[in-house]
Chains A and B, each alone.
Chain A
């Protein structure tokens, strides 16, 4: 009997029979031992779930306690003087003209700008590279391949320096745009592999339908292949976006006042080493959390009706 039938039968039994005959029905049809009967099983699993929940809470508290002790011992040994009350003014200040962003939040804005622009450009570079690699043109293939190998086999920091110190003076690029360009070229290389994978995963017969209708390759990509590929691209691309946000910390090395740079400067001004770096880490964590949430919403938006 299929599950569906079994459920229907159960519903029917509930509606038509009294409890006694329902029990007889269950007994003769399920051949289950007493302890496995539905209501008993439900109760047992509830008890088990509650016990499991208590264990989880206990484990977590134990872990938190150990972590707290370790930090406490560490700071004690370092003679560290926690001064959390001094942190908020670096996040925001209240003055006669209302609420104003502190250095850390100003840095965060720069980080978000660089990451946002970097993400858009990375998606563009990724898509172009993916299409180049899928094209039949030898030149396009070669360009894409060289780009991929060069970017993936050199450190991002070196790429950043090359663009900032070599390319930027030649073409007159500002430090900000050097940073955006370096990050997007780097992440674009990885994004292109994700996109290429998603594009080739679209079944061949989708192409054939389009060909047989006389659609051009451009139209086939635009209306049929890419819309279906996007759904497969989004989840892994979120990972890339998160990487991009984290890697953007490197731009502090070329004198851009991003979140990391702001943190670093604040630490040297105030010696609040622990407090500021914990705060900076928490801000990055929050930013990436929001990013993951956004991608989850987008994913739902692109879901194909099934």
Chain B
């Protein structure tokens, strides 16, 4: 266990002034400061290119930040590889393009990290896998390969795979954007259940209905900065900033 940094005990993620530059001097995100409370569901919305996915990917070190600090569950996400790996074990992530391992069955997809990272036995990992597949409603697909599943089913497997690590936080990077319309509902339903069970979630999404219903807090990003944040109903009913109003008027 690495040395834990004292932060507000209620804050599982604490972000202070982070900046990320892309090569060519483009600033993807600028000076973002934000906290996520335990059991909180935060939805990050904004136009494409606003840096919301980049921000999310910074939270588990998939992108390296150029300035600022990120502390997850008391562990600083600095250059230290041990810290980074420790954080990644505690933070699950679901991607837009599912990213399942195409050469493994659903069961092996979900078991791999449990066995290699958590050191579980086959039996333990199988038990967890079956319970999770039942929970996301596709236990009959245990021995199928990803390419034999629909997009919605693949994404539910991806969620199960992340959950199998028993994470403290789940990050969703536009988890429904690559899905056909009729499959969005089944994935959102799983995410909604997860939120109701008290999972801490940071969700980058274009699904405003879902955001409004499930999120405790909405964060609106544009051009790499947080323009406005607030409690869901308040945010949608009475946005304060002009840019927020313009964005909402376009999509609602």
Contacts and interface: CB of A to CB of B under 8 A. Distances in A.
Interface string A268-306: 000000000000000000000000000000000000111
Of A208, A213, A228, A304, chain B has the most CB atoms within 10 Å of the CB of A213
A205 B95 contact: yes
Interface stretch (A139-147, A184-192, A214-222): A214-222
A215 B113 contact: yes
A208 B88 contact: no
Interface in A163-222: 205-206, 208-209, 211-216, 219
Task: Place the interface of chain B in its size category.
Answer: 20 to 34
A213 B165 CA distance: 7
Given A205-B95, A223-B116, A212 B101 contact: no
B240 to A, nearest CB: 34
B125 interface: no
Interface in A207-244: 208-209, 211-216, 219, 223-224, 227-228
Given A223-B116, A227-B103, A228-B102, A214 B62 contact: no
A216 to B, nearest CB: 7
Contacts of A216: 85, 116
B103 A212 contact: no
A4 B117 CA distance: 46
Given A205-B99, A211-B61, 12 more contacts: A205-B97, A209-B100, A212-B62, A213-B117, A213-B165, A214-B89, A215-B117, A219-B116, A228-B102, A304-B103, A304-B145, A305-B148
B116 A206 contact: no
Nearest to A302: B103
Contact of A228 (B92, B103, B145): B103
B181 to A, nearest CB: 22
A304 B162 contact: no
B30 interface: no
A208 B95 contact: yes
A206 B97 CA distance: 10
Of B62, B101, B171, chain A has the most CB atoms within 10 Å of the CB of B101
A214 B168 CA distance: 13
Nearest to A224: B101
Contact of A213 (B102, B145, B147, B161): B161
Interface of A: 205-206, 208-209, 211-216, 219, 223-224, 227-228, 304-306
A101 B116 CA distance: 51
A231 to B, nearest CB: 8
Q: A-side binding surface: helix, strand, loop or mixed?
A: helix
B112 interface: yes
Interface string B97-136: 1011111000000001100110000000000000000000
B226 interface: no
Nearest to B109: A209
A223 B117 CA distance: 13
9 contacts: A209-B95, A209-B100, A212-B62, A212-B93, A212-B162, A213-B162, A227-B103, A228-B103, A304-B147
A208 B101 contact: no
A215 B60 contact: no
Contacts of A305: 145, 147-148
Contacts of A227: 103
A211 B62 CA distance: 8
A222 B40 CA distance: 36
A305 B149 CA distance: 12
A213 B161 CA distance: 8
Interface string B147-178: 11000000000000110010000010000000
Contacts of A212: 60, 62, 88, 91-93, 95, 162, 171
A197 B116 CA distance: 27
A245 B147 CA distance: 38
A239 to B, nearest CB: 24
Contacts of A209: 95, 99-101
B45 to A, nearest CB: 22
Contacts of B117: 213-215, 219
A96 B47 CA distance: 89
Given A208-B95, A209-B99, A215 B116 contact: yes
A306 B85 CA distance: 33
A228 B147 CA distance: 14
